[in-house]
Amino acid sequence: MKRSYSIAISIASAVVFLDLITKRYASLNFVDSPVEVIPGVLSFTYTENSGAAFSSFQGGGPFLGLAAIAIIGFLLYTLRLDRPLLEVVGFGFVLGGAMGNLADRIFRAEGFLDGTVIDWINLLSIPTFNIADTSITIAVVLLIIDAWRRR
- For the segment 112-137, the average pLDDT, to the nearest whole number, is 93
pTM of full prediction above 0.85? yes
Average pLDDT over residues 92-112: 94
Span 11-68, pLDDT tens digits: 999 999 999 999 999 999 999 999 999 999 999 999 999 877 666 677 778 889 999 9
Instruction: Label each residue of the chain as H, E or C.
Output: CHHHHHHHHHHHHHHHHHHHHHHHHHHHHCCCCCEEEECCCEEEEEEEECCCHHHCCCCCHHHHHHHHHHHHHHHHHHCCCCCCHHHHHHHHHHHHHHHHHHHHHHHCCCCCCCCCEEEEEEECCEEEECHHHHHHHHHHHHHHHHHHHCC
Please list the active-site residues.
119, 133
Lowest mean pLDDT among 30-34, 108-112, 121-125, 144-148: 108-112
